[in-house]
A and B are shown apart, each in its own frame.
Chain A
Amino acid sequence: EVQLVESGGGLVKPGGSLRLSCAASGFTFSSSGMNWVRQAPGKGLEWVSSISSSGNYIYYADSVKGRFTISRDNAKNSLYLQMNSLRAEDTAVYYCAREKRGSSPIFDYWGQGTLVTVSS
């Protein structure tokens, strides 16, 4: 059974940093592109970042470029999102999502999400 479990969310002050993790199991993690998608309270889904299976190709939404860094450790079956210079508008539930196939915005499995709250 495919499982994605996010962790690392919490309350952080504006300008602070946080590192999210996503533990994957039930599939060959090293063969799958992975993404972070967020959802602000009461709002819609917003794509944040993607990383290819090898980690060689990385993309970011303009809203987080230069502040967030996506990475992965295929030996640990884990995906990460380092978030720096956090702003109030980064407050959201952050989901990790698996790409159904490489280089495609088709997310066939999602984690349960982890809440990040940016507030003083």
Chain B
Amino acid sequence: QSALTQPASVSGSPGQSITISCTGTSSDVGGYKYVSWYQQHPGKAPKLMIYDVRNRPSGVSNRFSGSKSGNTASLTISGLQAEDEADYYCTSYTSSNILEVVFGGGTKLTVL
């Protein structure tokens, strides 16, 4: 299955807001409400940040928010902090073949 498309990198200064996009097709992002976002620091396991497009798990800062329009999902981080610097991945179901899970290629967030 093809990975969802994310920008390779984004950057922002502390206090600013950034948005990471995740583009798929009607067979994945556009067809399901199950878009999730994960944060991964170097050498660590991924951490769930957003699920079902816009829901935050308990304990995740409300500076993180998610949305979706058509075949593109987005993760917005407001009030950037140094500890937000990490890799971010989106994921969705895909029915292009059989029901499978597909990840985005990942986006490296740099806090300047």
- Same complex origin of A and B: yes
Interface of chain B: mostly helix, strand, loop or mixed: strand
How many chain A residues have a CB neighbour from B under 8 Å? 22
Which residues from chain B contact A88 at a C-beta distance below 8 Å?
A: none
Q: Is residue B18 contacting chain A, with contact meaning CB distance below 8 A?
A: no
Residue of chain B at shortest CB distance from A35? B101
Question: In the bound complex, do residue B106 and residue A105 qualify as a contact, i.e. CB atoms below 8 Å apart?
Answer: no
Which residues from chain A contact B93 at a C-beta distance below 8 Å?
A: 104-105
Count of inter-chain pairs, beta carbons less than 8 A? 64
Q: Is residue B36 contacting chain A, with contact meaning CB distance below 8 A?
A: yes
Which residues from chain A contact B57 at a C-beta distance below 8 Å?
A: 100, 108
Produce 1/0 per residue, B37-51, CB < 8 A to A.
010100001111001
Residue of chain A at shortest CB distance from B55? A106
Query: In the assembly, what is the distance between CA of A47 and CA of B3, in Å?
Result: 10
Q: Is residue B31 contacting chain A, with contact meaning CB distance below 8 A?
A: no
B55-98: which residues lie under 8 A (CB-CB) from chain A? 57, 87, 89, 91-93, 97-98
Residue of chain B at shortest CB distance from A60? B100
Q: Is residue A59 contacting chain B, with contact meaning CB distance below 8 A?
A: yes
* Pick from B40, B92, B103: contact of A46, CB under 8 Å: B103
* Pick from B48, B52, B104: contact of A107, CB under 8 Å: B48
Query: In the assembly, what is the distance between CA of A88 and CA of B95, in Å?
Result: 28
Query: In the assembly, what is the distance between CA of A47 and CA of B92, in Å?
Result: 11
Interface residues of A (CB under 8 A from B): 35, 37, 44-47, 50, 59, 61-62, 95, 97, 100, 104-108, 110-113
A-B contacts, 14 of them at CB < 8 A, read A44-B104, A45-B38, A45-B40, A47-B91, A47-B100, A59-B100, A62-B97, A106-B36, A106-B48, A106-B52, A107-B38, A110-B45, A110-B47, A112-B45
Contacts A44-B3, A47-B101, A106-B48 aside, 7 further interface pairs with beta carbons under 8 A come to A44-B87, A44-B105, A45-B46, A47-B102, A61-B100, A106-B34, A111-B45
